[in-house]
Chains A and B, each alone.
Chain A
Amino acid sequence: MKRTISVLVQNQPGVLAHVAGMFAARGFNIDSLAVGRTEDPNLSRMTIVVLGDDATLEQVRKQLGKIVPVVKIFDFTGQNLIQRDLMLIKVAAPPEKRSEIQAIIDMFRAKVVDIGPKFVMVEVTGPEEKVEAFIDICRPYGVKDVVRTGMIAMPRHGKSEK
């Protein structure tokens, strides 16, 4: 089962290695991991999607808590979340197929960010399922490259972070 946790860490060298190393050493499975600075330059936020049951998640939380530069851990399990994944995808787009592909892009509210003689590069954002649906639908045309940020998430208002 996929679960999302969000981890505030002190912005210092080695902290990503520490978190990633702990996951590897203890055999936890990371589905995705996204890191970025927060509004406070001393803090970064990691959004980690973990595969595991309740007991695994509890251990993940506790083991993260033991890492000294980890300041706060938020388990988003069961919360109403806004989730976003950002993808850049290069799809084969010979001139005769371009209008067809453009229709798909419009349907997904994605946008073309680059275009060449053979490919278009498209930016897609949204929940994971949407991003993955876009890949699937582009497959018949030929997908050359995919880059994704990994999921980031924030609970909707009312579900206050503890």
Chain B
Amino acid sequence: MENEKPTQSLSQSPPTQGTKKGAQVFCEILQREGVDLMFGYPGGVVLPLFDALYDSPIKFVLSRHEQGATHMADAYARTTGKVGVVLVTSGPGACNTVTGLATAFMDSIPLVVFTGQVKTPLIGNDAFQEADTTGITRPITKHNYIVKDPRDLVRTIHEAFHIARTGRPGPVVVDLPVDVSVADIAHHRGREEMDLPGYKIRSEGHLRQIKRAAEAINASERPVIYAGGGVILSDASPELRAMVNKANVPITTTLLGLGCFDESDPKSLMMLGMHGTAYANYAIQECDLLVAVGARFDDRITGDVKRFAPQALIVHIDIDPSSISKNVKVDIPVVGDARNILSRIIEFIESKPREAWFARINEMKRKYPLTYDNSSEGIKPQYVIEEVCRQTEGRAIICTGVGQHQMWTAQFYRFSLPRHFVTSGGLGTMGFGFPAAIGAQIACPNETVVDIDGDSSFSMTLNELPTAVEHKLPVKVCVLNNGYMGMVRQWQELFYGRRYSKSYLQNPSFAKVAEAFGAIGLTATKKTEVPKVIEQMLAADTCCVVDFHVEREENVWPMVAAGKGLHEMDGLPTDTSERV
């Protein structure tokens, strides 16, 4: 790279004459793929690419760490449905995307991450800032490439986007050695069409299986639909709602499925699983038919898998055949895109009253509501979330980190819109929330974006505050500050005899930290201050961080301890007579 001068003639010369560097072609192909925005961070071997970007209409958001860039692109993808794009340098730059890639991979989020690489003759020589990026990222990407021949550049970029966005989406890495970026592509024209003989997607769904699924639903007395992130990824929320309404079936969602169905609807059981509602979990254990749509029977959902939904016939709609019968034996698999399948299944569905089943569900809802004790002087974290929900009318885009605050958000924010909840479900990546909120706000400038975060999670990525300030993003951050890694502390309290080993943090004043970065910082220490401070926060037109000093040892209830059956919940309301 050092001996290559950046090209001065960036005029769009026809490819057959003059020179066109790989870097210029890179920008052109991205535009052809519909990319108008990228996230990332420059460095040595990507200088030719950044030089080409200097003249490109593609907007670039500079993060303060490559992990942040990857989470931003991830949230951009989750909120818009488009592919999130990242450009970083080789070695440390590429390594810093690993957490973001794994996060996106576990939650099936379409990303294309371009990483610089040392020039091809140096590969394998332990050159400066060299890392085996394809080797490192192979198990955490849907696919990855290294482009060693400039003739493969165009085809590879097209394939990367195609693979990222189709089928079960996921992140794709394209490793670009610097000599490819500076190569004269005009003299290296290769095949541009995709060559993916092994990449087949079954999106249609087999008609016979669709009919069998519909018949099972029609025949069932006590059905439950269990919807996951796949419904949101395939934009199948309207089809799902239509199907649920026609079939008249109660529906629960996973963490990633929140928003695919309106939680204020009487048919909604809200979230199921380890910290799901008691009535969702009991409904699963009592149902005679479970219809999973775009969900993968994760251990946080099933509890003890041997005792999961013991009476149920299981229908599983999923685009990934490897999800079928991976954890739970499925009786009627339907492989395909959720939206296609739901829109066809509805034709065969009959409406049934199912009065006894709904009566039972309503009884459980009355008996075991999601609740918390809000009688103390201090701030209950759940109360902050309820108040944010009230003031945003449940319509904000909500991002979270990982831990107690994430579960409380899932429990106490009433989600009704798809692509409005951005959280790291599968990997459980602390620090995801704040960069995600930045990505979401860039993607949706007219929406209110609130990061409901924990003090520990926020501390991991608050270095992105200047990114938010620089781009004048009115991202709101509610730090539910209990001075602990709350979920770690909760498990230590419950399972390790209250030995709070290394789960305590000495925190700064988050308000002052925010101010130092040019954002607004607010602090609330009393319950009575909460509504007002949230009002101020929502009115702010720049990035605003509110440090809520919440009650320190509040726990997330109910809880299915690891290894227990879904019906074996702890922390259920004992005296329900007052609440009924």
Using a CB–CB distance below 8 Å, which chain A residues touch chain B?
9-10, 13-14, 17-18, 21-22, 25, 55, 58-59, 62-63, 65-72
Contacts and interface: CB of A to CB of B under 8 A. Distances in A.
A9 B326 CA distance: 24
Interface string B302-346: 000000000000000000111011100000000000000000000
Given A17-B138, A21-B138, A59-B326, A68 B199 contact: yes
A63 B322 contact: yes
Contacts of A17: 135, 138
A72 B199 CA distance: 10
B196 A68 contact: yes
A41 to B, nearest CB: 14
A67 B234 CA distance: 21
B138 A18 contact: yes
Contacts of A68: 142-143, 163, 196, 198-199
18 contacts: A10-B197, A13-B146, A14-B134, A17-B135, A21-B138, A22-B139, A59-B322, A62-B321, A62-B324, A63-B322, A65-B322, A66-B142, A66-B320, A68-B143, A68-B163, A68-B196, A68-B199, A71-B197
Given A17-B138, A21-B139, A69 B326 contact: no
> Among B134, B135, B197, which residue has the most Cβ atoms of chain A within 10 A?
B197
Given A17-B135, A21-B139, A25-B139, A55 B198 contact: no
Given A68-B199, A70-B198, A62 B322 contact: yes
A161 to B, nearest CB: 16
B325 A9 contact: no
Contacts of A14: 134, 138, 144, 146
Interface residues of B, number: 19
Interface string B137-154: 011001110100000000
Nearest to A43: B197
Given A18-B138, A21-B139, A68-B143, 14 more contacts: A10-B198, A14-B144, A14-B146, A17-B135, A59-B326, A62-B324, A65-B321, A65-B322, A66-B142, A66-B322, A67-B198, A68-B196, A68-B198, A69-B198
A141 B234 CA distance: 66
A55 B163 CA distance: 27
A17 B198 CA distance: 17
A18 B138 CA distance: 7
Contacts of A66: 142, 320, 322
Given A21-B138, A21-B139, A25-B139, A58 B198 contact: no
A9 B138 contact: no
Contact of A55 (B146, B197, B199, B325): B325
Nearest 4 CB-CB pairings of A with B = A62-B322, A71-B198, A68-B143, A70-B198
A10 B138 CA distance: 16
A66 B199 CA distance: 8
Contacts of B163: 68
Interface in B111-145: 134-135, 138-139, 142-144
Contacts of B326: 59
Contact of B198 (A9, A21, A59): A9
Contacts of A13: 146
A17 B324 CA distance: 25
A14 B139 CA distance: 12
Interface string B176-192: 00000000000000000
Given A17-B138, A68-B143, A58 B325 contact: yes
A13 B196 CA distance: 15
Nearest to A55: B325
Contacts of A70: 198
B167 to A, nearest CB: 9
A17 to B, nearest CB: 7
Nearest to B199: A68
Contacts of B144: 14
Contacts of B134: 14
A148 B163 CA distance: 37
A153 to B, nearest CB: 21
Nearest to A58: B325
A69 B142 CA distance: 11
B163 to A, nearest CB: 6
B132 to A, nearest CB: 10
B106 to A, nearest CB: 13
Which of A58, A63, A66, A69 counts the most chain B CB atoms within 10 A?
A66
A67 B139 CA distance: 10
B155 to A, nearest CB: 12
B112 to A, nearest CB: 14
Nearest to B196: A68
B118 to A, nearest CB: 16
A65 B142 CA distance: 12
A8 B544 CA distance: 55
Contacts of B135: 17
Contacts of B197: 10, 71
Interface string B63-85: 00000000000000000000000
Interface in B28-76: none
Contacts of B142: 66, 68
B198 A72 contact: yes
Contacts of A63: 322
Nearest to B168: A66
A22 B143 CA distance: 12
A54 to B, nearest CB: 10
A100 B146 CA distance: 56
Contacts of A18: 138
